[in-house]
Amino acid sequence: MVSVTNRITQVKQPRGGYINPKDFKFVELNDSKELFPDENTHSTIVGLAVDYLTRFTMGTSAKEAFQISILGSMLVHENDYAMALVDAVIGLDDNSIINACKLVGFDVARRAGVAAYRPVESILPDHEAISNIRIMVERSTTFLKEFGPIVKDGFTFECGYTQIVSSGDGDFLTQSTLWDFKVLKKEPTNKHTLQLLMYYLMGCHSIHEEFKSVDKLGIFNPRLNKVYLLNINGIPSEVIHQVASEVIGY
C-alpha cells in the first residue's frame, strides 16, 4: 500500500499520459512582481510552505493549516518544538515564513517515514527564498479570491483509499473545481495530471459530498503565476475506468 505520489511513480502511463497536460487550457495571471531566480531552500519545503501559509492567510488556523507537520513532529518526538513554531506563524513577516519552512520539514516523517526525517533546525531560508515565498502566497490568495471561494482545503479521502493506495491529501476544492497547487519552474507533466485525476476519483469514492459538484480539474502554479483548467467531461470514459481500476484499485 502506497501514497498517491508513490503510486504514480510505479505506473507506466500510455504515450502522452492518461491525461496529456496540453489538454489543459491555461491562463497567465500578471501582478508585475518578479521572483528571484534562485533560492537556498529545497523546492519541496518551499512548495509546502506556500501551500500551508496560503491556507493560513485565507483564514484557516495555523494549527489546522500545518496539521500534517504537527503529526510528523509527533513521530520524531518534537511536538513541543513544532507547537512553538506554530504559535510563531502570525503572518507573512520574515520570521513567520522562516518558522513555516522549519515546520513543514516535519512533513516528511508523516509522508515518507521517520527514516527520511532530517532535523528541521537546519532549514534556514535566505532572503531570496523568503521573498519568493511571500510573493507566491500573495499570488495564491489573489488567485483564490478570483477563482474561489474555497469549500474545502487540506482534505484526505476517507472511504476512498484502497488496498493499493492508502494515503494522499488534496489541496483545495472550490464549488466546481478540484485544485492542486504546484510550485514548479516548469509546466505540469503527465504525473501531475494523473495525480489530479486520482484525487478526483478518490474524492468521488470518499465521504466528501462536495465532490458531487466538481466538474473541472485545475492546477495553479504561483511560481509561474499560471492557471491550468480541464473539464472532466472531456476525459474519455475508458481513461477514467482504467485509472480507477488499474491505478487506484476500485
Spell out the long-range contacts of 154-159 with Cβ–Cβ below 8 A and sequence spacing 24 or more: 154/55, 154/60, 154/64, 154/65, 154/67, 154/68, 155/203, 155/208, 157/199, 157/202, 157/203, 157/205, 157/206, 157/208, 158/206, 158/207, 158/208, 159/205, 159/206, 159/207
Chain mean position to CA 98: 19
**Tens of pLDDT, residue by residue, the chain (250 residues):** 899 999 999 999 999 999 999 999 999 999 999 999 999 999 999 999 999 999 999 999 999 999 999 999 999 999 999 999 999 999 999 999 999 999 999 999 998 889 999 999 999 999 999 999 999 999 999 999 999 888 998 899 999 999 999 999 898 999 999 999 999 999 999 999 999 999 999 999 999 999 999 999 999 999 999 999 999 999 999 999 999 999 999 9
Q: Domain residues of the chain, as ranges?
A: 1-33+139-250, 41-125
Q: What are 247's three cell numbers?
A: 491505478
Report the alpha-carbon distance of residue 98 to residue 92 in Å, rounded: 10
Query: What does the pLDDT read at residue 211?
Result: 95
On whether the pTM is more than 0.85, the answer is yes
pLDDT at 54: 94
Judged on CB neighbours under 10 Å (0-12, 13-18, 19+), 75 is middle
Please report the pLDDT score of residue 106 as a whole number: 98
